Amino acid sequence: MNRLKQLSNTQLVMAISIGFFVLVNIVWLGIPFAMAILWSLVDPAHPWSYPDILPQVLSFGRWAEVWNNTSLPEALRNSYTVAPAVALLTITLALPTAYAFGRMEFKGKKIAEMVSLLPMVMPSMILAVFFSAMLLELGLTDPYINIVIAHTVLALPYAIRILSAGFKAIPQDLIDACADMGTGKIGTFKHAFLPMLKPSLLASTIFCLVISIEEFNMAFVLGAPDFITVPTILYSFLGYSFIRPDAAVVSLILVIPNVLLMLLIERLLKGNYLSQSTGKA
């Protein structure tokens, strides 16, 4: 009887926790996202204002107007050429450090790990101001290169953290087995490290893409006004010429690809890539 009572209490607590989690997500994410969609569909010829509860006319006219009359196409092209370069450079630089943190023991390791996380805790606007001064001293004036370097600095802590966890999770027995078979260092990396690292590599890559696409401060300080990205054009819509439907359109263009990327990583990590990394594909 007591056991049944404890079980029912546990189920009640779980139901309340899940309900609270769902409610918070609806309030925090669902309602703002729904409002952004609604505002983006307000017809330019029929403004939405009080006392109307819903827009009088819904259309994609605002999307066409923003696409044709603003620098959004250029901003999209810039954002989606910077992000892959940032992801590639970040993963390349993060791999040696992540290997050291995940597979090696050395003096000062804890301090090195803490130092590698500093860009995560420092305000990005402060980093942008001093970073721009440093790049000018080095004679680097190309905004594309400067933004790629800056975004790489911001994304490195995430990639190092994720990849080091991936390296740490690789069983030593698997590495020893490859070594006993005489595969060499390249063969060991190919057959032992790489299959197990696929989820971590994928997660790091997508995190780098999302960070680069969403980042505003570095892109604004190092690129504006000549090199615009989606976040910088969004913030321009939130300035003196604030037009809520236009801002909603750009917000969705910024958010939706990132949501799709996160759904992709969730699917792949739970599916084929994870099964391949554990040898159960």
What are the extents of the domains in the chain?
71-277
Give residue 90's pLDDT band: very low, low, confident or very high (50, 70, 90). Answer: very high
Indicate the average pLDDT of the chain. Answer: 81
pLDDT in tens, 41-60: 888 888 787 777 778 888 88
Tokens of 2: 């007591």
User: Which 8-state DSSP code applies to residue 65?
Assistant: H
pLDDT at 1: 55
Q: Where are the beta strands (DSSP E) in 58-193?
A: none
Give residue 258's pLDDT band: very low, low, confident or very high (50, 70, 90). Answer: confident
Q: How far apart are CA 57 and CA 245, in angstroms?
A: 13
| 2 pLDDT higher than 70 | no
| 241 pLDDT higher than 70 | no
Which SS3 state, helix, strand or coil, does residue 104 take?
A: coil
Q: Is the pTM of this model over 0.85?
A: no
Rg (CA), the chain: 24
In terms of Cβ atoms closer than 10 Å to its own Cβ (0-12, 13-18, 19+), residue 58 is middle
Helix-helix angle 194-214:244-270, to 10 degrees: 180
Distance of CA 240 to the CA centre of its chain: 29
Domain 71-277 class in CATH: mainly alpha
Rounded to 5°, angle at Cα 48 from 43 and 49: 165
| 85 pLDDT higher than 90 | yes
- Hey, which of 74-83, 120-129, 186-195 has the most confident mean pLDDT? 74-83
pLDDT at 275: 42
Q: How far apart are CA 258 and CA 206, in angstroms?
A: 9
pLDDT at 281: 40
Q: How far apart are CA 101 and CA 88, in angstroms?
A: 20
| 130 pLDDT higher than 80 | yes
* Per-residue buried b or exposed e for 150-173, using 16+ beta carbons within 10 Å of the residue's own CB: bbbbbbbbbbbbbbbebbeebeee
Of the candidates 87, 118, 154, 129, the one whose C-alpha atom is nearest the C-alpha of residue 222 is 129
The mean pLDDT value for 204-221 works out to: 89
| 68 pLDDT higher than 60 | yes
